[in-house]
Amino acid sequence: MKGRVIAIERRDDGRAIAALVVDGRLEDIFVDPRPGDAAPAPEALYWARVDRVAPQMGAAFLSLPGGQSGWLRGAERRPGAMALVQVSRWAEPGKAAPLNDRVIFKGRLALLTPGAPGANVARGVKGHAARERLTALGAAALADAAQDVGLVLRSAAADAPDAEILAEIAALRARMAAALARATGAAPLLLEAAPGAEARALRDWADPAPDAVETEHEPFERLGVWDHVEALRRPRVDLPGGAWMTVEATSAMVAVDVNTGDDFAKGAAQNANIAACAELPRQLRLRGLGGLVMLDLAPIKKGARQGVESALKRAFAEDAVETHVAGWTPLGNVEISRKRERRPLSELLDG
C-alpha cells in the first residue's frame, strides 16, 4: 500500500501496538509496556523526594512512587526536598531512572515549557510569513499565562488552523495546571503517566500528516507489519548488492558488523558500508536499541573513512532519537552513543 499509514492494533492483554508504514515499508513502531510494569517511562511526570545528594557525581538521587528511584544531574538540593521532575529516558537494567527538572508537556502541534518562557517556532517550519504567524499566535495564547511559561509550535502546526492550535495549547495548559495542583505534600507521587503507544503515534507521526489511520480489520496483517516484525527478531539485515549486516544487543553495547557478502569487486566494501550507514538508524529505531553502539565496518582504506562518517551523520540527523557519532577507534570501528528512548522491541513483544 502506497502512502503514509498509521496502523494501530491491540493485543489480547489490551496493550496497543502502533506502526508507521510508508510506501509498504515499516518505518517506526511503538508498543505499550506489559500490564503491571511500573518502571518509570520517558515523559512520565513525578513529584519526587530527594533522598541523597552525590556532589562528586554532580547529581541527586530521588525517591519515586512504588519504591522506584531516579537521579537528577546538576541538582543542588537538600535531602528531603520535593521536586517536579520528568523521566528523560529508560533506565539501564538495575539502575535509577534518569530525570529532568525542565519538564515539557507535549502535544501534536505544540510543546508547553514551564520554566522556559517565550513563544518559539520549530526550525522545521519554513517561510517568514508562517513563522511570524505562529509566533504571534503563540504569544497571544500565553498572554494571560504565568511569566515563566513558554511554548514551542511544532512543524505540524504550520498547516493547522489557528483555532485548532489554540485549542491544543489550552488543553496543554489545563494538563499543566492539573499536574501542578497535585504537586504538594512530602510523599512521592505520579502526576502524569507517560503516553501510550496509540497516543504517542498519533502525536509524533503527525508531520507529515498520514494518508490514513488504520484501526480495523487486522491492519498489521494487511500491511505486512508482522512480516517486518519477524525480520526484526533476527540479527541479519540484508543490504543492496548482496551485502548484509548483523545487529546484536549485548549487556554492554549494541554490536553491528558489516559484510560485503560474495561481492569482491573494487568498491564493494565502501558500497556496503554506505548502505549500512543509511539503514542503521531505522534498524536501531525499530529494534528499540540504544546506549553504546559499536560499528564494525567492512575493511576500507583510511582515506575512505570520511565518506562513511559523513553518510552516517547524515542518516542519524534525520532520525528522531538523539544520537552522537563519536568517531573512529584505533582499531577502525565507529563508536556511536544513542539515547535509550525506547525499550528493546523483543522484550516488549515477548513479555
Round to whole Å and give the CA distance between 136 and 149. Answer: 16
pLDDT exceeds cutoff 90 at 267: no
* Grid cell for residue 20: 508507521
**CATH number given to 45-100:** 2.40.50.140
Round to whole Å and give the CA distance between 326 and 334. Answer: 7
Question: What digits encode the pLDDT tens for the residues 104-151?
Answer: 999 999 999 999 999 999 998 999 999 999 999 999 999 988 889 999
Rounded CA Rg of the chain: 22
Residue that is written with C-alpha cell 529516558 in the block: 89
Question: What digits encode the pLDDT tens for the residues 218-228?
Answer: 999 999 999 99
pLDDT exceeds cutoff 80 at 51: yes
- CB-CB neighbours of 347 under 10 Å: 14
Report the SS3 class of residue 312. Answer: helix
Class of domain 105-195: alpha beta
For 24: left if phi > 0, alpha if psi spans -120 to 50, otherwise beta; the answer is: left
* pTM of the complete model: 0.91
**DSSP code per residue over 135-177:** HHHHHHHTTTS-TTEEEEE-GGGGGS-HHHHHHHHHHHHHHHH
Report the SS3 class of residue 222. Answer: helix
pLDDT exceeds cutoff 80 at 263: no
Phi/psi at 114 (5° precision): -65, 135
Task: Supply the pLDDT for residue 75.
Answer: 61
- For the chain, the structural domain boundaries read 4-32+206-223, 45-100, 105-195, 233-350
Question: What digits encode the pLDDT tens for the residues 71-116?
Answer: 998 767 889 999 999 999 998 888 899 999 999 999 999 999 999 9
Burial of 283 (0-12, 13-18, 19+ CB in 10 A): middle
Task: Supply the pLDDT for residue 351.
Answer: 56
Count of helices and strands (H, E) across the chain:
8, 20
Task: Supply the pLDDT for residue 35.
Answer: 87
The residues that bridge with 85 in the sheet, in sequence order, are 46
